Copies of this chain bind each other. A is one copy, B any other.
Amino acid sequence: MLVKQKTKYIQTLGQKKFRQQEGVFIAEGPKLVKEILEYQPASIKEIFAAKEWIDANKKNLKGIVATEITEVELEKISQLSTANKVLAVVKQFEEDKDIITKEKITLALDCIQDPGNLGAIIRIADWFGVEQIVCSNDSADVYNPKVVQATMGSIARVKVFYKNLGEWLAMQKDIRVYAAALEGQDLTGMKKLSEGIIVIGNESKGISESVLKLCNVKITIPKKGRAESLNAAVAAALILSHIT
């Protein structure tokens, strides 16, 4: 059973203010909770789930408290349009103090605002083996429920940092910075990279000028048809596919 106070508490976690205050976020659905149980089990504070889910997952709980609740109760605390068997309250992952950019590919996001896009980019990074993403402070919140869902579990594996992107890039002295831009060198002519920062810009405005001037190379995805632009997540996928 779910007490009223707990219901209210979970509902408030839809808002960034309360998520930050409490240092937690919510993850829903068997797929997502499975991935967090596997990759970040120590982060899970508690689980609320249908009997069916608890019965099937008893062995994987490793001492985590799982409260059985009814469908009606789950519906009340869910942020999904249709609640999906299980909801976990998860501690926000601890940020490493230093972001190491040597000998690896790092994605940098300049004001990606759509939660679906941010989630998709985290999933894409995970697919291509990119382990870290640095977001400008004005990007969407990685713990927004829509972002969390859109990562399909990759949030448990890819590290996401928030920085003043201009200041942070200025400190990356020996690492090459690549900007996804409309007029740059042809992506398909580029070699594989083992190190570098790839900057993806805002959905409508692209990369801000202050960030763009810190980039060493502009790269462009060759266009064969007539669409004016590509979605930010798609651009990230095409670039990572080519350079990794």
Contacts and interface: CB of A to CB of B under 8 A. Distances in A.
Interface of A: 116, 120, 123-130, 152-154, 157, 221, 223-231, 233-234, 237-238, 241, 244
Contact of A230 (B123, B223, B226, B229): B123
A67 B152 CA distance: 45
A120 B231 contact: yes
A185 B52 CA distance: 38
Given A124-B234, A233-B234, A234-B120, A129 B228 contact: no
Contact of A221 (B123, B226, B241): B241
B129 A225 contact: yes
- Top 5 A-B pairs, shortest CB-CB distance: A129-B225, A129-B224, A126-B227, A127-B227, A234-B237
B152 A225 contact: no
B228 A237 contact: no
Interface SS of A by simple majority? loop
A241 B153 CA distance: 26
12 contacts: A124-B231, A126-B226, A126-B227, A127-B225, A129-B224, A130-B225, A152-B228, A154-B226, A154-B227, A157-B226, A237-B237, A238-B238
Contact of A227 (B123, B224, B226): B123
A142 B226 CA distance: 19
A228 B226 CA distance: 32
B227 A244 contact: no
Contacts of A154: 226-227
Contacts of A241: 221, 238, 241
B226 A123 contact: no
A241 to B, nearest CB: 5
Nearest to A240: B224
B225 A230 contact: no
A230 B153 CA distance: 12
Contacts of A229: 152
Most buried by B among A154, A226, A238: A226
Nearest to A39: B226
Contacts of A124: 227, 230-231, 234
Contacts of A227: 123-124, 126-127, 152-154, 157
A29 B125 CA distance: 32
A128 B226 CA distance: 8
